[in-house]
Amino acid sequence: MDTLSRKEPKGASDNEPNRDFIVRLIEPLPRPIITPIEKLAVSSLKQEGAIPFQLLVEHVAFDLYREELRNGAWVLDIGLFGSRLFAPDVVREIEAGILWEIEKTEGH
């Protein structure tokens, strides 16, 4: 099972997978960026604009993974798990975030 598809954005029903949702940055930001996940999510949203929820999760999880490798996590078993190790935390924080809006895509 795909780690990123287990959890859906708030407001999603069982027949609405998270790929049917997009994330859009709120500008100006309602408050300063606090966490590393927020920093990466805001950066990705500023660079790409509104993007699908699952794609944002993948981008942020990969960026967190890459940062951890740079900080020496390569000596641990982190390489066995890859970026999916970070996906559950990224999903939770994006769902709870107030720096962006999660919207249902049109036509779904």
Q: How confident is the model over 50-96, as pLDDT tens digits? A: 999 999 999 999 999 888 888 876 656 676 678 888 999 999 999 99
pLDDT band at 105 (very low <50, low <70, confident <90, very high): confident
- When divided into structural domains, the chain yields a total of 1
What percentage of the chain exceeds 70 in pLDDT? 74
Question: Which range of residues forms the domain containing residue 19?
Answer: 3-104
Determine the length of the chain. Answer: 108
The tens digit of pLDDT for each residue in 9-52 reads 554 444 444 668 999 999 999 999 999 999 999 999 999 999 99
Query: Does the global pTM surpass 0.85?
Result: no
Find out whether 52 and 19 touch, Cβ atoms under 8 Å: yes
Q: What is the mean pLDDT of the chain?
A: 82
* Residues 6 or more apart whose Cβ sits within 8 Å of residue 47: none
Helix axes 53-70, 87-96, angle to 10 degrees: 130
Q: How far is CA 98 from CA 41, 71, 102, 104, in A?
A: 12, 28, 10, 17
User: What are the structure tokens assigned to 93, written together?
Assistant: 């924080």
